[in-house]
Structure 1
Amino acid sequence: MTSHNDIGALTAQAAALRDEDCHKEAVPILRAAIAAREPDADRILALTLKEINDLEGAKQVLIDAVAKGQAHLASLLGDIADDLEDDELAESSYRQAIDAGDTGALNDYGVFLRSRERYDEAIDVLRRAIAGGDNLAAANLVSLYFDDLEELDKAEELALRYLSKDHPSTYVALANVYAEQDRLDEAEEKFREALALDANKVHQNYALFLWGKREDLAGAEQEFRLAQDNDEPGWGFELGSFLIEQDRNDEARDVLAWAASWGDVVAAELLEEIDPDGEVEVDR
């Protein structure tokens, strides 16, 4: 995270507004910061626009920044283009980021390829990301074999091979494999180890386990709420889905609307499904 002391005066002013959830007020100040060539202003503006659901605006900011030589923003452009289902731009942006030496972009590109069902390419890219030391790539590779290819034995083999406290998400991946094999006590043990290591999205995954395998609704909701408290990526969709399944649609709408207001595209899509004509106001 960039400190307010590491950026220009205008960007720092806008960042303070973001901290107060005044995102719309921050936008013109960030545009002025870009005009003044303040460092990091382009990235912060793109994120701000994303969080107020202006993905097209965020995309254009990043296109301009990358065109001016800020290749370190190419991977973020890939993420935004992916959200917009602009596959051509997403792929070219990820490749540009990788060519510029952004090793984290390998994992992002692998996830993108997986989402497009280009599994052989995704496997190759994720293996390269693992070799480069990416923290999430091993778990994503295990999930590909587990969720997409339904090769449980291979998924378990890979999860055990890459299991490491230096990469906590591998504990989540192995726990999910054990859960699918109905080795529930072993799965529980790995989830608890993953919780202790503060693994990526661990509360959501543990919640899904408690819900689907243990039928522990109270425990599952507690974990979903912890995912929200920890701002885990995708918490809004998962908690909203859980509440819908419990026929708590009013609560689900509030959760999904809140997540959507912060740029969660999947939460916004689910909100549209359950309330296509609704206009939910979010009080920040």
Structure 2
Amino acid sequence: MTESNLAAEAAQRLVAGDRAAALSLYLRAWNRPDDEVAERIFDIVSEWGDIDAALKTVEAEAQGGNPAAYEALAELLVELDRPKEALAALRSAAEGGRDVTLMIASVLADELGDREQAEEYYRQALVDDNPRALNDYGAFLSEDDERLDEATDLLRRAIERGDTMAAGNLGRLLADEEKYEEALPWLQQALDAGHRSVLAVLGETEHALGDLESARTHLREALAEEVTGAHFAYALHLADTGSPEEAVRHYESAAKEDGETNAHLNLALLHEELEHWPQADHHYREALAHQDETAYVYYAQFLADQNRGDEIGALLKSAEQLALDEEDLAELRALAEENGRVDNS
């Protein structure tokens, strides 16, 4: 039975209320983790109401001779934050003949933090300059500041071989390096190819280049589509264009909803600008609690301005224990001395 016929029969079984049969049929139609069949599988599992029962159905299908089901099982286990089990499922899929080399690399890198072993799998996937492997490996290396040249080369090769996502990843890399003029055409190319995930960084890049109207449009689209990083990028835009109160709301969303810990320092600075002293103090402390090293000097200056210079000595001591940048430490020491409170104990 063809993939489309299996999916059609699965849909009929689902309408009839037989989730287990529908799930098994969809698993037999599984091709890759980003197609419509995969979406149906994830929908069934999430709506099942009994995760364990759903996973047992997937496991039974896999153990019954369908190695693709192990691949689907791994995707589900990643979503459930069970990466070690996901990795085991992927190894079973590989033993059954499925090409899951890139998925194994991704789980090792993104879920288990084993970058050394992940790189071995990324390299294995570079067969005949496979464009997806070039893109994924390039994106992986772009997280290492010392290997950005390698990442750029891989992403350019992926683009040459038709991987449109690589254009977005190259644009992100260049934007992170503040090479906004170089980043813009790659980000626009990725967006034109349908990769909406670049909306936030595209808006951020346009803002940096002074195209505020386009930036606002793309950042609002990113918010509406819940693109990762949209709240933080839009807050930056608002703060720079004279809307600090609205910027505060989006930084708060970035911190609470997106887990963007860098937002706390920005919130502290905005509250200080708005003369909201208790809120500023709270977010400075939150920034320090999240080990934002750039917050120390700003907080020390805030304390001095608030006639709380006697607290800077303790702040300096904490910074010294963190082995803060020597230039920042020197500035902290100067502020502590100016306020007559250096703790030499």
* TM-score, normalised relative to structure 2: 0.54
Which 5+ residue runs of structure 1 have no aligned equivalent?
225-234, 248-271, 275-284
- What's the offset of the Cα at 1:98? 3.8
Which of 93, 97, 119 is the aligned partner of 1:65? Answer: 93
Partner of 1:176: 204
Cα distance in 2 for partners of 1:223, 1:12 equals 39
Listed one character per residue, the Cα deviations across residues 77-114 of structure 1 (whole Å, up to 9, x for unaligned) are 11111121222332232333342885333322211111
- What's the offset of the Cα at 1:44? 1.7
Indicate how the Cα distance of structure 1 residues 31 and 146 shifts in structure 2: closer, same or farther if over 3 A, else same: same
Contact kept? 1:139, 1:173, Cα under 8 Å: no
Contact kept? 1:43, 1:62, Cα under 8 Å: yes
Whether 2:236 is the aligned partner of 1:212: answer: yes
Indicate how the Cα distance of structure 1 residues 135 and 75 shifts in structure 2: closer, same or farther if over 3 A, else same: same
- What's the offset of the Cα at 1:45? 1.1
Bigger-Rg structure (1/2): 2
Whether 2:19 is the aligned partner of 1:12: answer: no
Listed one character per residue, the Cα deviations across residues 183-234 of structure 1 (whole Å, up to 9, x for unaligned) are 42231134457789x6xx64x444223212214248748997xxxxxxxxxx
Question: Residues 1-284 of structure 1 correspond to what in structure 2 (within 5 A)?
Answer: 3=7, 5=10, 9=21, 11-12=23-24, 15=41, 16-38=44-66, 40-71=68-99, 73-83=100-110, 84-99=112-127, 103-117=131-145, 118-147=147-176, 149-156=177-184, 158-159=186-187, 162=189, 165-169=192-196, 172-191=200-219, 202=227, 204-214=228-238, 215=244, 216-217=246-247, 220=250, 236-238=258-260
Cα distance in 2 for partners of 1:246, 1:154 equals 30
Bigger CA drift: 106-115 or 89-98?
Answer: 89-98
Contact kept? 2:67, 2:92, Cα under 8 Å: no
Q: Structure 2: which amino acid aligns with 1:76?
A: M
Larger RCO (alpha carbons 8 Å, 6+ apart): 1
Contact kept? 2:207, 2:237, Cα under 8 Å: yes
Query: Over the residues paired in the alignment, what is the CA RMSD in angstroms?
Result: 4.1
Partner of 1:253: none
Cα distance in 1 for partners of 2:252, 2:267 equals 14
- What's the offset of the Cα at 1:137? 1.5
Which 5+ residue runs of structure 2 have no aligned equivalent?
12-19, 28-40, 239-243, 269-288, 292-345
- What's the offset of the Cα at 1:244? 11
Cα distance in 1 for partners of 2:264, 2:178 equals 28
Contact kept? 2:101, 2:125, Cα under 8 Å: yes
